[in-house]
Amino acid sequence: RSKMDGRGTWRFFEPAMDASLQSRRALETDLRAAMDKNEFDLFYQPIYDLRMDRISGFEALLRWRHPERGLVPPDQFIPVAEEIGLITPLGEWVLNRACAQAASWPNELKIAVNVSATQFRDPRLAAVIANALEVSALPPHRLELEITESVLLGNSAETIATLHELKARGLRIALDDFGTGYSSLSYLRSFPFDKLKIDQSFVRDVTAKKGSKLIVRAITRLGKSLGMTTTAEGVETIEQLNQMKAEGCNEAQGYLFSRPVPATELASTILSLRNGLQSLKRSDWGNL
């Protein structure tokens, strides 16, 4: 509430403020109840290994099926979940669910799980992960955590220690949305990530803008020289794919391969992707 309240100055704006405040409160209330009402679900998007020419795993992407709002995308509720302290139980649910589902997949397939900054700072995180792996019997090397640079903001000793602990347990750590954060390069010095995921904003323009192409080239070379693999995010066209491959990217992910799909559609997605790639290769996919 503003200091000006009561003096009348802001009265004109109050209805609008109240409306947005009310819808925000409603969202918070619904979000708090969503877990018990079983409204969360994980969708999966394939990650394609360009060298091996096969799917190497899937990224778990959280969805909220709201009874009135429909399918709410994570960008609209994860920040709220973080603010109201719900991200810890929600993140735990995601980890348990993703590990349990991945345990039933063929052995060579990995599962990538996004971990938010608040979740990462929770001292219980390592125990939550250990438990998810134990209950599901998923081998640790099949679990990859995706963190963004915001996790590393402040560069605290605890964060680095947690990362080392998780890596020592056999998990793989990827730096997500790489290139869009604050001071990317210093983070690469503090921790040996396994993978850099090149943000889709660079991939989108890679065939149209020279600047994006040069940035992609710089990131892939930097990754390689630091012993990290690179993944192109948001690949939508064959031209983008060919360019990312030419720049030496190891993996690609995007609507060109598949949109995120429900767990029940995983097998059919793998099959249709296999067929689709065969026919693409016969035609314009050239030397892929």
| Residues found near ligand C2E in the complex (CB under 6 A) | 45, 60-62, 73-75, 78, 91, 94, 114-116, 146, 176-177, 200, 234-236, 254-255, 260
Amino acid at residue number 186: S
Q: CB 193: neighbour CB atoms within 10 A?
A: 22
175: which strand partners? 147, 196
Cβ 120 to Mg ion, closest distance in Å?
Answer: 13
Residue 97's closest CA among 41, 46, 55?
Answer: 41
Q: 156: which DSSP letter?
A: -
Cβ 262 to ligand C2E, closest distance in Å?
Answer: 13
72: which strand partners? 64
Is residue 177 at the binding interface for Mg ion, with CB under 5 A as the rule? yes
Q: What is the dihedral of CA 144, 40, 79, 159, to 10 degrees?
A: -30
Partner whose footprint covers residue 236, from Mg ion, ligand C2E, none (CB < 5 to 8 Å by kind): ligand C2E
Q: What is the x/- site pattern for Mg ion, positions 137-156, by CB under 5 A?
A: ---------x----------
Q: CB 276: neighbour CB atoms within 10 A?
A: 13
Beta carbon nearer to ligand C2E, 146 or 247: 146
Beta carbon nearer to Mg ion, 114 or 212: 114
Cβ 235 to ligand C2E, closest distance in Å?
Answer: 6
Which residues of this chain interact with Mg ion, rule CB under 5 A?
114, 146, 176-177, 233
